[in-house]
Structure 1
Amino acid sequence: MESVPLPIFSEVKAAAQKPRGLPFLRLGFRPFYLGGTLVAALAVPLWVALFMGGISNSPVVPALLWHAHEMLFGFAVAIIIGFLMTAGKNWTGLSTPRGASLAALALLWLGARITALTGPGVLYALLDMALLPLVAGILARLLLGAKNYRNLPLALILALLAAANLVFHLATLGVLDVPAMTPLHAALGLIIMIESVIAGRVVPAFTMSATPGLRIQRSAIQERLTLGLTALGLLLWVFAPAGVWGLLVLLAAAGLHAIRLWSWRPLRTRHKPILWILHGAYAWIALGLLLLALAQMGWIPVSAGVHALAVGATGGLIIGMVTRTARGHTGRPLALSRLEVAAYALVMAAAALRVLVPLLWPGLYMATLILAAAAWCAAFLIYLWIYSPWLLQTRLDGKDG
């Protein structure tokens, strides 16, 4: 993998040890990338079939809530866990779960995905709520043990995601009298914060590494202001009544993200798919915050901003990172095939079809919903076709991990 200033996915000395155990259970990215992308490929067409009445059997929670929850906690959170359980080893030099302990975490995740469809509801809630507190605790222990305080906020965000998931399940079980969609919106906001932090580190670093002579200057004040206003804007969106303050803060956050992206020289990446997918996906954060701002005044539906952040930003950054990091951690070069580039384009097309076309031509909603689902599904099926064998096999270079 390219050399970057930040050791997000650089090799550590421990990685050079002799391989041991099943390859699939040597690092967290292997089971969680495979499981998360499988959910991405299967859950969206299932949701469309439920929405259109093509399937009579429904999940244990209302179909819309199941769709939103599984795309956040079944798909996005799985990829985040896989990433952090791998990156944590490189950040700290300490071992992350592997073997039986990693299998137990993956089985907890899998059990929740199955019981979401089969029930009983209480078992679904218990299994689903168990995973994130464990992962947050593991990550916090690693970071504290290595005195890596810089990354501790990521463990805190995982804990907050666990709290949002708890509220969701208590709401669907009738224990709490709150709208179940509220904690899901909060979870999306937390995921966007993770993406904003990680992208701010890796995207400019990857861009400079792949572009000889390019230097990207970052202002610490601007970085803090961007992240701070993003957090405030998302808090206002989730918890405060819609109004002018939400409009203004979200507009400011959107503008700062656009400025941040432009400073990363996105036009320099147009001939390098492994880079332009990250820049293109990040642009959806700025656009999503802009759409949420407009929705504050009732000018457009809230779902436009939600899907810009969920499909364009989250889906795009995930497909970009799970290809790049899986190649690096299976000992393969960062040289993409045409199919992988097609997967990138399909995710970006899915976002445009799901968000932009319905805004411009509302009468095409059902057609674009189906097309967007097909593009999304195809993208992640391509990933699974290429990467599943690699995730199940030992590294090409014979190293552990």
Structure 2
Amino acid sequence: MAPPLWKGEQKINRIFVPLLLAMALANLLVHLQALGLADTASRGTDVMLYLIILLLIILSGRVMPFFTRAVIPGHAPKQNPVVDKVTLIALGALILELLLLPTPWLTALLTLTLAVTQILRLFGWYHRGIWKLPILWVLYTGFFWIIAGLLLMALAQFDLFPANLARHALTLGGIGITTFGMMARVSLGHTGRPIDPAPAISLGFVLLNIAAAARVFGPLLLAEKYNLWIHLSGGLWVISFLLFSVVYLPKLSRPRVDGKAG
């Protein structure tokens, strides 16, 4: 993958080369512990988590302003290059810190910095009209969960919030919802269909957000029902992706409706 990414016209895509190499390193750290050669699995999983968050933050900065501008007439999402640079610097520093020498106060500072920068980015893109468009608001809710996860991770460094639940805000909430939303969008666009999700898919967007809320905040409300929250969250997740499969499998297994290649 490296040669076409590096030689392509869009130079911004070059960042995926070191990003994928870093993911391979994070994966290696987990396997080294599985082989009994090192005690590095925890660092590997933490590094991988924030590498994926880095990927989503980069992609969100490219697609969310574009999608918002395209469907809301007259709205011009604002992007701040300084905030974008601070985001990348803070995320890079966080990944290196977690890899080399995890330090709670520094992790808290960096995750808090990231949360603030993402709030600023989100305010620059936002328009209240997004709530009329499920294919758009799902991406915004996914980005909200990334911000919430970063804030909760900062609190977790001082034992003010359970780290495991904060991690689920980033994974189930941020990664899960954003990925689901992008899958729903590109599955329509790349099969030549209008970007208008079926009601069942919009229901899936809602169910995934409920699943994230149940998994992150449910155990705080009723800790003795911990297993219930896991089963509820997991069940809603499964239902959402079953809906996706039922709706999109026929579309993805047939030629494009506009007759184009793909």
- The TM-score bracket by the shorter chain reads over 0.9
SS state at 2:168 partner: helix
Q: Which amino acid aligns with 1:158?
A: L
Q: Which amino acid aligns with 2:26?
A: A
Are 2:75 and 2:127, in contact at CA under 8 Å, matched by a contact in 1?
A: no
Please give the alpha-carbon distance, in whole angstroms, between the structure 2 residues aligned to 1:141 and 1:199: 24
Are 2:53 and 2:175, in contact at CA under 8 Å, matched by a contact in 1?
A: yes
Sort the Cα spacing of 1:356 and 1:235 in 2 relative to 1 into closer, same or farther, 3 A.
farther
Please give the alpha-carbon distance, in whole angstroms, between the structure 1 residues aligned to 2:225 and 2:101: 32
Q: What percent of counterpart residues are identical? A: 34
2:150 is matched with which residue: 266, 282, 289? 289
RMSD: 1.6
Could you tell me which runs of 5 or more consecutive residues in structure 1 were left unpaired when the two chains were aligned: 1-137
SS state at 2:224 partner: helix
Query: Residue 107 of structure 2 aligns with which residue?
Result: 246
What TM-score do you get using the length of structure 2 for normalisation? 0.94
Query: Residue 170 of structure 2 aligns with which residue?
Result: 309
Please give the alpha-carbon distance, in whole angstroms, between the structure 2 residues aligned to 1:293 and 1:239: 19
CA shift, 1:266, in A, is: 4.8
Report runs of 4+ in structure 1 exceeding 3 Å deviation. Answer: 233-242
CA shift, 1:237, in A, is: 4.6
Sort the Cα spacing of 1:166 and 1:241 in 2 relative to 1 into closer, same or farther, 3 A.
closer
Query: Residue 188 of structure 2 aligns with which residue?
Result: 327
Are 1:233 and 1:253, in contact at CA under 8 Å, matched by a contact in 2?
A: no
Please give the alpha-carbon distance, in whole angstroms, between the structure 2 residues aligned to 1:296 and 1:304: 13
CA shift, 1:194, in A, is: 0.2
Are 1:208 and 1:216, in contact at CA under 8 Å, matched by a contact in 2?
A: yes
CA shift, 1:149, in A, is: 2.3
Please give the alpha-carbon distance, in whole angstroms, between the structure 2 residues aligned to 1:219 and 1:300: 31
Q: Which amino acid aligns with 1:244?
A: W
Are 1:254 and 1:286, in contact at CA under 8 Å, matched by a contact in 2?
A: yes
| Aligned pairs for 1:44-63 within 5 A | none
Query: Residue 298 of structure 1 aligns with which residue?
Result: 159
2:57 is matched with which residue: 188, 193, 196? 196
Query: Residue 367 of structure 1 aligns with which residue?
Result: 228
Query: Residue 352 of structure 1 aligns with which residue?
Result: 213
| Aligned pairs for 1:123-138 within 5 A | 138=1
Are 2:6 and 2:13, in contact at CA under 8 Å, matched by a contact in 1?
A: no
CA shift, 1:265, in A, is: 1.2
Query: Residue 271 of structure 1 aligns with which residue?
Result: 132
| Aligned pairs for 1:219-238 within 5 A | 219-237=80-98
Please give the alpha-carbon distance, in whole angstroms, between the structure 2 residues aligned to 1:170 and 1:296: 26
Please give the alpha-carbon distance, in whole angstroms, between the structure 1 residues aligned to 2:224 and 2:93: 34
| Aligned pairs for 1:6-155 within 5 A | 138=1, 140-155=2-17
Could you tell me which runs of 5 or more consecutive residues in structure 2 were left unpaired when the two chains were aligned: none
Query: Residue 32 of structure 2 aligns with which residue?
Result: 170
Q: Which amino acid aligns with 1:166?
A: L
CA shift, 1:369, in A, is: 0.8
Q: Which amino acid aligns with 1:342?
A: L
Per chain length, whose mean CA-contact separation is higher, i.e. which structure has more relative contact order (CA < 8 Å, sep 6+)? 1
Are 2:29 and 2:40, in contact at CA under 8 Å, matched by a contact in 1?
A: no
SS state at 1:270 partner: helix
CA shift, 1:184, in A, is: 1.6
Please give the alpha-carbon distance, in whole angstroms, between the structure 2 residues aligned to 1:395 and 1:163: 38
Are 1:234 and 1:250, in contact at CA under 8 Å, matched by a contact in 2?
A: no
SS state at 1:230 partner: helix
CA shift, 1:232, in A, is: 2.3
CA shift, 1:327, in A, is: 0.5
Q: Which amino acid aligns with 1:161?
A: M
Q: Which amino acid aligns with 1:300?
A: F
What TM-score do you get using the length of structure 1 for normalisation? 0.63
Sort the Cα spacing of 1:169 and 1:245 in 2 relative to 1 into closer, same or farther, 3 A.
closer
CA shift, 1:196, in A, is: 0.3
Are 1:207 and 1:275, in contact at CA under 8 Å, matched by a contact in 2?
A: yes
Deviation string 1:308-359 (CA, Å, 9 cap, x unpaired) is: 1100010011110001001011111111211010011111111101112223
Please give the alpha-carbon distance, in whole angstroms, between the structure 2 residues aligned to 1:255 and 1:146: 33
Please give the alpha-carbon distance, in whole angstroms, between the structure 2 residues aligned to 1:348 and 1:248: 27
Sort the Cα spacing of 1:313 and 1:266 in 2 relative to 1 into closer, same or farther, 3 A.
farther
